[in-house]
Structure 1
């Protein structure tokens, strides 16, 4: 089975051998046009993800990022998918850029530009680091944008992401604060809302629930009334759902958008509510883990876009100057990622070069 995906023009390393990293590995193997997954990197030699990667023909290592960056230049991957933690990626990002390795950040670190394929499919293919926001962001921000492009900038947008507790691994649990802060910031930067808010709920119900997302967006009063304007907004939302379904087939809207009349407590604005469900493709985990499926599917999709460009414009092995978000500008002030950025700034990348020569 490993032979099925060998020979694609670029190579990848997945850092983080947990649920997200393992699911992403299978998506790259089965769906990528340009990427050969070559390395699975973790820190626990007993990890199920490392064992599965080895069976699939990848090179596994429990040596972490230090092991990967110690490889000779010709053995380095063209792209890294980081499925570790916000803190770890904030520290890793400048080291990867120093090696000329493109990074797709699946953590809430957000040191690079936000990316939601259905909205920002025009992300600069020359980008060296893109951030996939969060699972809740991937599911809901396209809907916020679908409203924005019709009504203009909404005053407020709020999303509630409800996940099965079984589908939330230690990485998700360790990044709850970063999840809410990063998603809220991306609602504004990508979705276009003036003010965003995000809430995450881990539901322990048995049998495990599918991922459910609710999106509330403030809209001008005239959109609450049936008619051409409301029809235009509904059509925009449905069109966006279809766009997301192109790379996440299990994404769906559970009912027609619900419109609420203006209220004084909303400043005279009306509200549209959209109810979504994400059913996982079952590449590695059960279908209730739609929260993982949507971010790994989006990441594999963007990875192909970035690597299609790099086939003609390779940079591996050449240090790249990347303007990462400064800690004061990042959507995570005072968080683990912000603190790790300061630590990363002091890292001596010459040690990586010395390791490669050894």
Structure 2
């Protein structure tokens, strides 16, 4: 294969977009930066892009379309907000551009790279769920690959300082999108998501807790092995992703079932998984693992898309 790369644009010059730009420049094998797009002409992200010689516009999606090199761009990352994404996607689809959505808008299918990326390589729009979803859904899937999961609940705890205005504006969408993806991608019959913004100083690294109620009699050793293998797979593109301790199990028999709101009393095997996500500190602080896992997952998806584009070109 030649050294040719696919040109990409990032909409959103805030923390997530800027971190993603640096990841594309430093770590990408198949991508090159075609444009950085924002709406604040004084944003640090646009200033950095300009210093690096990347085409920029502070006129949003309309400015992107007017850039001289727009026709070269094949993939666009949207790191803005769920509300803005619908308009951005409508414009980009007119030009046949593949869109990777880092907001909780969920217009396209939910994608967690280690779980279902290959199923959606040709999708015009994919949704990267949420930071909590990227961290925890692989664990729910690891359990559901071994045993039926009646219910899965995830609690994501992030440093308050790592939650920008976009994250704060999308809290409702976060819980709804993550809950649905736990079911659709993770394989749980019922999912629930909770997010906690911790104001502690110094800021704490992202932590995630995953609780699954699996069918009674599930093979504990097989679940442990599946969880470990999945954690290793995520770590391949998010180096700071790790299990904090051994997987914990608790059995609930028919004479002492677990009461789950909205479902009722169920016997089964409770599986508890404890995670930590440390950021790579490319642009964001190391404690902002919640933002780093989103940009890392989006980059992993774009790399696969670009590889597909290049293979089609060669064929």
Please tell me the TM-score bracket, short chain as reference.
over 0.9
The structure carrying a bigger strand percent of its residues is 2
- 1:293 is matched with 292
1:278-297 deviation line (CA, Å, top 9, x unaligned): 00000001100000110100
**C-alpha distance in 2 between matches for 1:111 and 1:74:** 23
Matching of residues 75-154 of structure 1 within 5 Å: 75-152=71-148, 154=149
**C-alpha distance in 2 between matches for 1:8 and 1:300:** 17
Aligned-pair distance for 1:195? 0.6
Q: 1:256 aligns with which of 246, 266, 278?
A: 246
**C-alpha distance in 1 between matches for 2:134 and 2:58:** 29
Higher relative contact order (CA 8 A, sep 6+): 1
**C-alpha distance in 2 between matches for 1:307 and 1:37:** 13
Report SS of the residue matched to 1:161: strand
Coordinate RMSD, CA, aligned: 1.4
Report SS of the residue matched to 1:209: coil
Aligned-pair distance for 1:71? 3.7
Contact 1:12 1:77 (8 Å CA) reproduced:
yes
Question: Would you say 1:274 and 2:273 are equivalent positions?
Answer: yes
Between Structure 1 and Structure 2, how many residues are aligned?
302
Contact 1:150 1:236 (8 Å CA) reproduced:
yes
**C-alpha distance in 1 between matches for 2:56 and 2:67:** 13
Aligned-pair distance for 1:221? 2.6
Segments of structure 2 that go 5 or more residues without pairing to the other structure are 260-264
Q: TM-score, normalised by structure 2?
A: 0.93
Segments of structure 1 that go 5 or more residues without pairing to the other structure are 1-6, 224-228, 315-358
Contact 1:140 1:213 (8 Å CA) reproduced:
yes
**C-alpha distance in 1 between matches for 2:275 and 2:97:** 35
Matching of residues 42-61 of structure 1 within 5 Å: 42-61=38-57
1:213-242 deviation line (CA, Å, top 9, x unaligned): 00000012324xxxxx21111110111000
- 1:162 is matched with 157
1:154-198 deviation line (CA, Å, top 9, x unaligned): 111000000000111110000000000000000000000111000
Aligned-pair distance for 1:72? 5.3
Q: 2:20 aligns with which of 24, 49, 56?
A: 24
1:242-275 deviation line (CA, Å, top 9, x unaligned): 0000000000000001111204224112210100
- 1:220 is matched with 215
Contact 1:126 1:310 (8 Å CA) reproduced:
no
Moved over 6 A (4+): none
Report SS of the residue matched to 1:297: helix
Q: Report the more deviating stretch, 82-91 or 206-215.
A: 82-91
**C-alpha distance in 2 between matches for 1:126 and 1:179:** 25
- 2:262 is matched with none
Q: TM-score, normalised by structure 1?
A: 0.82
Contact 2:120 2:126 (8 Å CA) reproduced:
no
Contact 1:254 1:277 (8 Å CA) reproduced:
yes
